[in-house]
Amino acid sequence: MRKAPMSVIDSIRNGLAPVHREGYPFLLIGAGVSVVLLWLVPPLGWIAVLITAWIAYFFRDPERVTPLRDGLIVSPADGRICLVGPAIPPRELDLGDKPLPRVCIFMNVFDVHVNRAPIGGRILRIAYKPGKFLSADLDKASEDNERSGMVLETPIGQVGVVQIAGMVARRIVSFVREGEAIGTGERYGLIRFGSRVDVYLPVGTRPAVAEGQRAIAGETVIADLAAPARELAFRVS
């Protein structure tokens, strides 16, 4: 039995990601302003329409296919890997005062901003700390900027993940609570408008990504705790 050909509307619908509920208030405001300006000042109204379309694009929440295996740690955010190397975790995470392997993902305003759990486990701790709004791709942003950290208790050790506000970001949203269980790749938070997420890995972990690489939340494997601890080589082409 032959399938009916896909219509143009179906093709467009399948190519569009749904908008996360956090974006609904902004879309409603944008749509209202657009209607009023289109009636009163059409040129400004079309600009408002474009801004509203960008808001829908910013708050998009596409489905992801997450690899599931013990030991795999996936990227919690879409964006560019901006830093890879040892760093002392923020004090509020209570992960000790010794450097841990760290992977930092920088999100610009065009990246998907829904964050996903890098590994499954129980949420041991959520800690919010107010701070500055420096450029999120700077190393000192992990110490100075406003942030919200989460520690996951897993069978292979504790993993810390920190949402860091940037120059434009002014709100970090969390969808989870302490004590809850969360699966690898499940949505746990969102940062509005341009920011960074840091992942602190157990001692001895070798990150499987390099600086400059693009990561996809819930899909890109950034470390494999079950694999032998050996260095990886990378090539830019």
| Average pLDDT of span 7-16 | 49
Name residue, tokens 């300006």.
37
The residue annotated as part of the active site, out of 135, 148, 195, 237, is 195
pLDDT surpassing 60 at residue 133: no
pLDDT at position 58 over 90: no
Catalytic residue flag (residue 195): yes
Query: Looking at the predicted structure, is the pLDDT value of residue 124 above 90?
Result: yes
Global pTM? 0.80
Question: Mean of the pLDDT values across residues 161-174?
Answer: 76
CATH match for 72-224 among 2.60.40, 3.40.33, 1.10.30, 2.70.70: 2.70.70
Q: Which of 17-31, 150-164, 183-197 has the lowest mean pLDDT?
A: 17-31
With a cut of 80, say whether residue 2 has pLDDT above it. no
Q: Residue 173 — very low, low, confident or very high, per pLDDT cuts 50/70/90? A: confident
Would you say residue 8 has pLDDT above 50?
Answer: no
Output the pLDDT for position 10: 45
